[in-house]
Amino acid sequence: MSRPWIRLSAAASVSSLAVGMWLSGELVWLAAVVLSATLLVLGAWRGRRWTTTAWFVLQVTVVAAVGQPAALLLPALLLALVSWDLEDFGSRLRQAPNVIDQSGVVRRHLWVLALSSVVGATLSGAALLGRLRLSFAAAAGLGLLALAGLSRLIRTRQTPTNLRSGT
Amino acid sequence: MSRLGTIGGLVWVLLIVGLATLNGSLLAYSLPLVAYLATAALLRPSHKTMAGEARLEKPSLAEGETVRVHGRLAVTGDPLELLDFSDLHPPALRRSSGIEAGLIRLTPTQPLEFDYQLRASRGLHHFPGIHCTATDPFNLFRDEWVLPAERTLLVRPSYSALRRMNISPLRTGVIAGAYPARSGGPGVEFFGLRQYSAGDPMRWVNWKASARSGRELFVNLFEQERVIDLGLIVDARAHSNAVFGGGSVYPYSVAAAASLADLFLSQGNRVGLLIYGSHLDWTVPAYGRLQRERIMSALAKTTEGESRVFEQIQHLPTRLFPSKTQLILISPLLPADLNHLIRLRARRYPLLVISPDRDQFEAAKLQSAPELPLARRLANLEQHLITRSLANAGVYRLLWDLELPFEHFIEQHLSRPQAWIRSIGAR
């Protein structure tokens, strides 16, 4: 995975978020965005991989905290997610001693990432535009159901995978 | 924090805070992350659908040769989106070409065939299997396992073939062989004269001796040549082989033992091997090609070691060898071994000691220093003293300069009969 694409998506994410903060007049959050971007640049320069994750968490936090304008914040969130993912994928490709059918692997990854992003963007956009009147109990019930499902999924997958014999 | 923890934590926080504050936009912003997480969960890997194998081209080979490893990985169910595989092999074996590890998307329609070559170094090497790490496309869910593909590779020591080695053992076998039996009869080497008896072939008559006598006929006697019993003893004690600054002369001892075993067995002699180190590794004396394989296997597996019991050579179990068996000890020797070897000789074991010159090997590795020549002289004196003391007891010791190939060393010192060689075991 070429680094320019990762940098481009990160820059686009930061820019759209910064413009969103500027338009909302949220100068404190704008400073946070600039700070996180600086952290990302410094991390990339010094080869610290954790800074990408820190930057991504900060981007999501800013988006969640400010919330408006959604037309800029949602793309910022999606681009941050794409950038975070591509950075990890690129580093895996670089670290592998051999990548067999590299173009096929990259194509497949981009396709899956694009699909996931489009689905996420569509659902999120629909949720931001449409308003559904739900009682608190129904909303809480649905939310709890989602949380329970998610927790179960994560718990199942996070059990320590010792070296097991294959079949 | 893991990637799954990061994304899961963010989703969790957004959902909790969104529900707590009744803020719908927070829930909305969590949806791209949920979609990302859900996609990864849907495409999560499972090792249960995967099968594979790896095999070696041949189970044993000689040191320095290359061995080809061929492997195959296949998946029967859902594809494995990203599979990191690595065929685990002992670090002593170095890859010379091919692919042993990599990253791939493995699908049921396209199994992976990989192939690589390893350069062999002496030893018994164990290959545990193929290490696999499979992840979803986003590296959130991970499954790691070792696919069993156990193999064992025996790498015999490389050695140089010897043409001839002259020794004159005390005891020989009954079968015709290559070593003088100290008795007259049919043979090649001149042994003596005796009076002519009726039935002696005329070509045996020594006309010059008969003419000098004037009245009687004399015939030549030749020395019979028979097979011998040989006991090879390899000193595998770590402290006697170790070299200052790291390294060891033990690989040279192993190669020398392999050369000697090959020579004596090819001449039809009965050869046994005793490796004396952390434990005793005994190969019972026998003849032939099968015995050669046994000895080479023992030499392939051997490593240096330490043991309180076998710290000194006094516990050499001589009962394993019949009395008067020709023994060849390959050892750098320590001054403390001297008396034990003399005692061994006193029990009527003809003994030849081949000592890899550890001091010279060590000196070649050291930086030049003003003290080095003096230290070298002292070491030489000590070695000379050991050699002389052993020679006085009838044990002959040859110091092998390791810069010289073993076959050249044997060619120089033991290829033709010398007076002192003929006297080995004579006392």
Highest average pLDDT, of A4-13, B4-13, B290-299, comes from B290-299
Distances (CA, A) of A144 to B27, B99, B292: 12, 49, 75
| pLDDT tens digits for range A91-147 | 888 888 888 888 889 889 999 999 999 998 898 888 877 777 777 788 778 878 877
Mean per-residue pLDDT for B287-304?
91
CA distance A35 to A40: 9
The pLDDT, as a whole number, for residue B347 is 83
Mean per-residue pLDDT for B138-162?
88
pLDDT at B259 over 90: yes
Question: Which residues on B lie below 8 Å from A109 (Cβ)?
Answer: 137
By C-alpha distance, the chain A residue nearest B45 is: A157
Mean per-residue pLDDT for B71-91?
87
The pLDDT, as a whole number, for residue A157 is 56
Model pTM score: 0.70
pLDDT at B420 over 80: no
| Residues 6 or more apart in contact with residue B69 via CB below 8 angstroms | B54, B55, B56, B57, B87, B89, B98, B100, B115, B116, B117, B118, B127
Residue closest to B321 by CA, chosen among B277, B271, B258, B253:
B271
Nearest-CB residue to B32 (from A67, A78, A115):
A78
Radius of gyration of chain B (CA): 34
CA distance B233 to B253: 10
| Residues 6 or more apart in contact with residue B68 via CB below 8 angstroms | B56, B57, B98, B115, B116, B117
The pLDDT, as a whole number, for residue B257 is 94
Q: Is A106 on the interface with B (CB under 8 A)?
A: no
Q: Is B95 on the interface with A (CB under 8 A)?
A: no
Nearest-CB residue to A161 (from B50, B140, B142):
B142
CA distance B276 to B334: 14
Higher-pLDDT residue of B424 and B335 is B335
CB atoms within 10 A of CB B63: 19
pLDDT at A161 over 60: no
Mean per-residue pLDDT for B251-274?
91
The pLDDT, as a whole number, for residue A51 is 77
CB B268 within 8 A of CB B178: yes
Q: What ipTM was assigned to the predicted interfaces of this complex?
A: 0.76
Nearest-CB residue to B103 (from A77, A92, A151):
A92
Please, which pLDDT band fits residue B353 given cuts at 50, 70 and 90?
Answer: very high
Shortest distance, CA B19 to any CA of chain A (angstroms): 7
Higher-pLDDT residue of B138 and A1 is B138
The pLDDT, as a whole number, for residue A19 is 67
Residue B64, SS3 per DSSP = coil
Shortest distance, CA A41 to any CA of chain B (angstroms): 20
| pLDDT tens digits for range B33-54 | 988 988 888 888 877 778 888 8
Percentage of chain A modeled with pLDDT above 90: 5
With an 8 Å Cβ cutoff, are A64 and B82 in contact?
A: no
DSSP structure string for B141-201: SEEEEEEEEEEEEEEEPP-PPP-------S---SSEEEEEEEEEEEEEEEEEEEE--TT--
With an 8 Å Cβ cutoff, are B141 and A88 in contact?
A: no
Tokens of B172: 């020989």
Touching A: B residues 30-69, CB under 8 Å: 31-39, 41, 43-44, 47-48, 50-52
Shortest distance, CA B141 to any CA of chain A (angstroms): 6
Tokens of B243: 């070299």
| pLDDT tens digits for range A46-100 | 667 777 888 888 888 877 777 777 677 788 888 888 888 888 888 888 888 888 8
The pLDDT, as a whole number, for residue B426 is 40
Question: Which residues on A lie below 8 Å from B102 (Cβ)?
Answer: 96-100
The pLDDT, as a whole number, for residue B256 is 94
Residue closest to A65 by CA, chosen among B36, B23, B12:
B23
The pLDDT, as a whole number, for residue B143 is 86
With an 8 Å Cβ cutoff, are B4 and A154 in contact?
A: yes
Look at A29-43, B130-144, B199-213 and tell me which has the smallest mean pLDDT: A29-43
Distances (CA, A) of A152 to A120, A155, B10, B58, B373: 21, 5, 16, 49, 75
pLDDT at B303 over 60: yes
pLDDT at B421 over 80: no
- What are all long-range contacts of B395-398, with beta carbons under 8 Å and residues at least 24 apart? B395/B341, B395/B342, B395/B344, B395/B345, B395/B351, B395/B352, B395/B353, B396/B351, B396/B352, B396/B353, B396/B420, B396/B421, B396/B424, B397/B333, B397/B352, B397/B353, B397/B354, B397/B355, B398/B352, B398/B353, B398/B354, B398/B355
Shortest distance, CA B151 to any CA of chain A (angstroms): 16
Average pLDDT of every residue of chain A: 75
pLDDT at B268 over 70: yes
The pLDDT, as a whole number, for residue B273 is 93
